[in-house]
Structure 1
Amino acid sequence: MKEFFLQREVILTCVILFIGFLIHRIIIWSAMKLSTKVQRSKLRKQYLNRYIGYIIWTMVGITIIFVWSINNEEFWLALGSTFAVVGVALFANWSILSNVTASFILYFNFPYKIGDRVRIHDKDLPITGVIEDIKGFYTVLRTADGELVTYPNNLLLQKGVSILYNRTESVFDIDKHEEADRTAR
C-alpha cells in the first residue's frame, strides 16, 4: 500500500513539473511575441523571463511540497517564518513591490524604450536624459553631461514624461521660457 502512495506522489510530481514547464514556456513565448511587437530590448526580455520563472517555479515547489504531504513541524515553522519575514520586508517598504510592478507596466504599456531621450517633469528635480536601461526597480538615464541617474520606476509612472526625439527641450519647458521672457520685458 505504501508503494502505491509513493508511486502516486512520484507521478504527480512529474506531472506538476511538466505542467509548470509548459506554463512557463507558454507565458514566456507570449511575452516574447508581445515584446517583439512593441520592440523591447533583449536585456528587458531576460528580466521578464527571470521574474516570471521565479514566480512559477516557486508555486511549483510549494505544490510539490503539498503533494508529498510533508508534515514535519519544523519545516512548516521555518517556511512560515520565512514568509513572515519576506512579507514584512515587502509591505513595510511598499516601494520595492511598487517598483517591480511598475517595471512590468513599463515593459508592456509605455511608449518610451531604451535609447529614447526623455524629460521627466518633476517639480523639484526635472531630469532630461537618454534611457540606458530599465531594470526591475529603477530606470538608468544618462544626462547630457554624462551623469548616470537612477530613477525609481514607480516615480516614472507618477510623473509626466516627454519623449524629446530631436528637440533639446520639452514643449512644457519652452512654454516656461517664453513666459519668463514675456515677464522680463
Structure 2
Amino acid sequence: MSEYFLANQNPVIYTAIILLILFIFRNVLKRSANRIGNKGDLHVTRIRLMFKYINILVTIIAIFALALTWGYDTSQLAVIFSSVFAIIGVAMFAIWSMLSNITAGIILFFSFPYKIGSKIRIHDKEMPVEAVIEDIRAFHLHLRTMEGELITYPNNLILQKAVSLIEREYHPDEGKDAL
C-alpha cells in the first residue's frame, strides 16, 4: 500500500484536494438553493429537486477533474465526453420535450412568482384554466380546478402562457361556518 502511495503521491493529494473543493462547492450551491427556496417560500420538494440537479452537476465536474488528475490525456477525454454527449444529444432529441420541461422546472424554481396553494388563471385560447396549484414537479404542475378536476400542466407551457394570480393562497373551506 505504501508503495502505491509513493508511486502515486501527487495524484492522490490532488484527488483529495479536488474532492474537498467540490464538496465545498456543492455545499455552497445547496445552501444558495436552500436560501433562495426559503426566501421565496418554496415547497421543500422543489428545493430537493434542485439538490438533485446540483449533485449531477458536481458529479460530472468531479469525473472530468479526476480523470485529468490521474493522467488521462485531454484529447482522450474530449473523445470520451464528445461521444457520451453525442449519444445523450441523440437521445434527448428523441425526448426533447422532457428536457425542455426539466429546464423550465429549473427556471420556475428561481423565478416563478406563484406558490403551492396559489389560485391562478392561465390565459390560453384553446383551454383557459382557472385552478389552484397543488404541486410543482420537475416536468409539470398539478392544478386542481374548482370542480375538483386534476390537471397536469407542462412546465414549458406555463412559461409560454400568460398567468394571472387570483389569490395568494386559496383555501376552499374559507368563509364556511364551523359545525
TM range (shorter): 0.7 to 0.9
**What is the deviation of 1:92?**
4.5
Question: Alignment partner for residue 147 of structure 1, among 146, 149, 170?
Answer: 149
Counterpart Cα distance in 2 of 1:17 and 1:64: 9
The reply on whether 1:65 has 2:28 as its aligned counterpart is no
Change (3 A) 1:11 1:118: same
* Match of residue 16 from structure 1: 18
Question: Alignment partner for residue 88 of structure 1, among 66, 87, 90?
Answer: 90
Q: Secondary structure at the match of 1:120?
A: strand
Q: Larger deviation: 52-61 or 16-25? A: 52-61
* Match of residue 98 from structure 1: 100
**1:118-162 residue CA offsets vs partner (Å, 9 max, x unmatched):** 111111111121111111111111122222211111110110111
TM-score by length of 1: 0.78
**What is the deviation of 1:88?**
1.5
More helix by share: 1
The reply on whether 1:110 has 2:112 as its aligned counterpart is yes
- The within-5 A match list for 1:1-185 is 6-70=8-72, 80-165=82-167
In structure 1, stretches of 5+ residues that fail to align are 169-185
User: Do the aligned partners of 2:5 and 2:12 also contact (CA within 8 Å) in 1?
Assistant: no
Q: Which amino acid in structure 2 is aligned with residue 132 of structure 1?
A: E
Counterpart Cα distance in 2 of 1:36 and 1:100: 21
Counterpart Cα distance in 2 of 1:78 and 1:19: 24
Q: Which amino acid in structure 1 is aligned with residue 145 of structure 2?
A: T
Q: Which amino acid in structure 1 is aligned with residue 135 of structure 2?
A: D
Q: Secondary structure at the match of 1:112?
A: coil
User: Do the aligned partners of 2:117 and 2:132 also contact (CA within 8 Å) in 1?
Assistant: yes
Counterpart Cα distance in 1 of 2:106 and 2:60: 19
Aligned residues: CA RMSD: 2.6
Q: Which amino acid in structure 2 is aligned with residue 114 of structure 1?
A: I
**What is the deviation of 1:20?**
0.8
- Percent of aligned pairs sharing the same letter: 41
TM-score by length of 2: 0.80
* Match of residue 173 from structure 2: none
**What is the deviation of 1:21?**
0.7
Counterpart Cα distance in 2 of 1:165 and 1:115: 9
